[in-house]
Amino acid sequence: MMEEERAVRNLVLSICEFRLQAAPSPREAETAGGRVPGGRVGSQLLLVGGVGSERGAAQLLMHGGADETQCYDDLHAVELERGLWRELSVGGFSKPSGVYGHTMRAWNDRIVLFGGLAAQTAQSLAETEQTQT
């Protein structure tokens, strides 16, 4: 196996902290429902908060995914009781690149991402597959 192929198949590991960006005013958020992210596949969902949680109300976090044109690196939260969407700020060890088909888990106040494919990885794999056929 060539060195380039091994590099393409390496897993991605990122540890990120999440914190809210400036939220819209309650009235704006109530009427608009927040900015709903566009359609995508391969994103990861993670339930945080809820009864007995220090994080407050239950939220469903959505990270990454891809559509026909790009991979996403964004992190969104929807407050389940109110149906309100917000985009969250991502910081910590390193900001993950756009990725899809990955795994996401909560650990303390962090999110850990494992694996997945990035746009450049998918392109490299497609080129490798075409040259082999």
Q: 29-85: per-residue pLDDT in tens? A: 444 567 788 888 999 999 988 766 666 788 899 998 998 888 898 889 888 888 888
Residue in 66, 60, 59 with CA at minimum distance from that of residue 100: 66
Domains of the chain by residue range = 3-132
Give the residue from 98, 111, 106 showing the smallest Cα distance to 64: 98
How many whole angstroms separate alpha carbon 19 and alpha carbon 42?
Answer: 23
What is the model's pLDDT at position 6? 43
Instruction: Supply the pTM of this predicted model.
Output: 0.63
C-alpha distance from residue 124 to each of 40, 92, 98, 119 (Å)? 21, 28, 15, 9
